[in-house]
Amino acid sequence: MKSYSRGGGIAKIFFLLVLILALIIGGLIWLDFLGIIDVKKQLSPITSIFGIEPTSEVDQPFSPLLLDADRLTKERQAIAIERSELENTTNELDLREAEVRQLESEVNEKESSLEERQNSLIEAIRQYDNKVANLEQTARYMMGMPPADAVAIMDEYDLRDLVDLLRTSERLSREAGEASLVAYWLSLMPDRERAAEIQRLMVEKPGPNLDG
């Protein structure tokens, strides 16, 4: 009877130990599942005593999130490169625009200068044409009046203006096929030195081309 009671007590103790061990193992598995502890890492000192080495961790394959992150990084890099190229292109366009504006300004200045020179030339031609027309009109007037009266008027002229008038008179006479009155007018001038100076200037004076 006593041997039966002793055997039953040992069985109960063994059952309780097994139950406790099962609860401990189950609890550790549950905690490992929840991510609270790493059972393999925690039990590695004990399992190593029995020659059981923990299995090495296997690299997890790339998840879709990692692929998306990598693609996003590459897209950002591509955008950064495009932005840098766009900035460089913009800077080059700004430089070219500045060069074009400078060239445009230079062209405008040259056009303005050319226009001023053209206007000056037109004005000079107009003044010359007016002078020639006035000289021709005055010469015809002198040629049509008595020589003595013409000489009296010529005495009031400046020498150079008078030379232009006499040269114009010679040209008109030559174009009309008539004899020039210039020599006769000079012979009637009372101031012989003035007449001689006029003759000299008519030969030497380059002046404008009033001979046509």
Residue 108 forms part of a structural domain: no
Residue 160 lies in a domain: yes
Reduced to 3 states, what is the DSSP secondary structure of residue 64? helix
Question: Over the stretch 103-119, which tens digit does the pLDDT of each residue have?
Answer: 888 898 888 888 888 88
* Domain range enclosing 12: 7-49
Residue 90 pLDDT > 80: yes
| Calpha distance 133→164 (Å, rounded) | 12
Domain assignment of residue 104, yes or no: no
Domain membership of residue 210 (yes or no) is no
- Separation between Cα atoms, residue 69 and residue 192, nearest integer Å: 114
Is 188 within the bounds of a domain? yes
In a domain, 80, yes or no: no
Q: What pTM was computed for the model? A: 0.45
Closest CA to 165 of 198, 199, 200, 135: 135
Residue 70 lies in a domain: no
Residue 66 lies in a domain: no
Q: How many domains does the chain have?
A: 2
DSSP string, 34-98: HTS--HHHHHHHHHHHTT-PPPPPPPPPPPHHHHHHHHHHHHHHHHHHHHHHHHHHHHHHHHHHH
Give the CA count within 13 Å in the CB-facing half-sphere of 96.
6
**pLDDT (tens digit per residue) in 144-186:** 999 999 999 998 999 988 999 999 999 999 999 988 899 999 9
